[in-house]
Structure 1
Amino acid sequence: MSAAFKQMHRTRELYLRVDGTTEFGNIAFPLRQSGPNTVLEILEVHSDHEPLELPDDIFSENYGKLRSLKLINAFPPYPPGLLCNIRHLTVLWSKRRDPPTVLSLLHMLESCINIEEFDFRDRTGWDRTDIVTSSISVCLPKLRRLSLENISSTPIRLLNHLTLPALVSSYIMGTSEHGLNMPSAFMSFYDSCRVDIADQSFRADFTSTTNPTLSADVHLAAPLWSNGLEIFRSVFQADFPLLRSLDVGFSSRMVLNHPHPYPTTIWKECLENLPNLQELTFRNIFGYGACDQSAINLLLSLSSGPTPTACYCPHLRNLTFVNVSVRHPPEKIVYALTEDVTVWLSPSRAEEPTIRNALLSYVIGRSRDHAKLAKLDISECRDIDEPLLESLEPLVDEILPKSLFLRDEMVFGDFN
């Protein structure tokens, strides 16, 4: 060990695995001796069992050649001399005595003026975070990749105090809170979103059609008893007016006393904030019936419009439904009871709206208003029949599938 430390002034990569501050102090002397004269480019400090704080006296100088820093169970404050020249910073916590603070992370990032990649993962299990009341804002002009992971709302709170350029990639994982939104500047680069919504969480992937190199991957747990779609709308409301493509998938099981998980009121609140939407996809991920009802409510909302003379999403051109049942409404037999006989009166269609009827009503309305859909894709829906396709075909520019025969050919292939 001592022989190795004699070569510290020539070391370019240093990986230290220690057990708390005491053990770290045992190797402090050679580190202190090398100081700013070191050619160190990569430094990793990993504390196995005890949380570690980096002694200021060891890293008090400016490490001018240091480019990559990885700190595992080492906690702030961090010596500024380690931070001012680094390009890549990874902070991983799996052991901590007290909850993390957004303010301490912001003070750390203030020294990272040249950082290009920042990866923060807090797996200590703390589900609380502090609320930063100050107007502190940290600018990271060179940042290109960002990853923030914590089970509390720390990632979103931290983002709201950062000024960032367009990021090549970002990964955000945490918990949403009522009234806590993704910052508008962060979301302003994206115009396309694919989101999967479960009962208590959602995952949203944002991309840009004008700059395909940009992406944001956001995983958020929703507060207890909250509505996934409502929270999604609330958190990303700044980006909604910019969206041109929205792909929404639902895996909601929902309990029996809530058969309509996403009623028309919630859909309308979403749609009224999507004035530039051109493509909309609804996916029923696992085929739950409650999600089919949500699809009906979506179509009813699209058909209603904010005013008698206006419609929601006026620029919508492509509409797709996946794994939704478009079955014909079942016949409801009506009987009349007399003293000695039961008399069959007439069959009638069930009064409850179906996605089939809601779909026809919507495309008829768009066609009547000279705003035909460019494409309606129900090729991956269940219970399609030829009469439905024949009814829809003249009302849209393109219907998929064009026929059941062509769809079956595409799925099963030609075995002859």
Structure 2
Amino acid sequence: MSVGWLYLVTFCLTCTCCRAEKGLEIPRYDGKDRVIDIDMKNYQKVMKKFDVLCLLYHEAIPAGDKVAQKRFDLVELVLEMAAQVLQEKDVGFGLVDEKKDAKLAKKLGLIETGSLYIFKEDNLIEYDGELSADVLVEFLLDLAEEPVEIIEVDVEIQSFLRIEDEIKLIGYFKSEDSEHYKAFEGAAEHFHPYIHFFATFDKGVAKKLSMKMNEVDFYEPFMDEPITIPDKPHSEEEIVEFIQEQKRSTLRKLRPENMFETWEDDMDGIHIVAFAEEEDPDGYEFLAILKEVAKDNTDNPELSIIWIDPDDFPLLFTYWEKVFKIDLHKPQIGVVNVTDADSVWMDIKDEDELPSVDELEDWIHDVLSGKVNTEDDDDGDDDDDDDDDDDEDDDDDDDDDDDDDDDDDDDDDDDD
């Protein structure tokens, strides 16, 4: 989960106001310790106790390091709040220390410190989202749902089609007992709850979606038409492999629940990033332009644009403005280096007129060709440094001249 400059741990504990009414009482941390220190002696007992177990694999805290201790305490409070809210759902939370519990970490497959690992049945899931109580709880509630949602009636078809900004798959099978459905269900467990899987056994539903028996359709975000996985019927492994090849979408949205996974999936160390508030008129218009660009270039494997709605990340708003030196109150698109956050942003000269689809495609072409890149800023910085060096050289020359003048004066004195 650690991604350098983007690393964020959000402490999101909410409090109630004095006028809270019954039915609208937002939970407050009650002070009870529910997060368990896990070790070789108790881990089996704890894992049997809960249907879902979340383990934070954390760095050892140096003795006397008050800052590190305070940060850890804040993270632990996030887990305590989530544990309190989910205590009736058989969800447990624990801590694994990288030094004291190194043997246990290796046994359980915990690799990256700072990451939250979730055990459910035989599956191990690394949580790659924002570490705040509300986002974590929502993720775990989604995880508790079945990996495949069954579509049976028209209203469910409409609900399925309205999912626009996420990857989704749907399969048409004879029944839940079909071996091909079982393979589809097995594939769904690999990606649950990050990717939505749907299935239907209804001939009428399949007809409205233009599907044939044992067909599996893959919908890329913001695309009108699906990609049918070829050579049906498919094994579980074939479906998983297809999704792995296709899941880097042409246009994808950064989400709190998988923000780190998305950010780590870069293209040669960079991302094309677009900021646009969907609820803002200009942001909505700019997003529509981005969708058209994505549809026109969906066959280009080199292109992947990350759309960020600043409203989804209020605690990062001013941080992004400062780091990227941009105004997030208006739409922006740029190239970001994932290592050091160096960035170059499209110059939208007329604030009252957003770039057209053609203008945006031309700019993206320049990015993909390397004509626009984050090294441009570095070159500018180097030039500045060179100028400074030149100034220093000039100063040195002046000093040398002064020394020569002094020597001449001394010689004159000697002559006198």
Q: TM-score, normalised by structure 1?
A: 0.23
Tell me which protein shows more helix as a share of its residues.
Answer: 2
Tell me which protein shows more strand as a share of its residues.
Answer: 1
Q: TM-score, normalised by structure 2?
A: 0.23
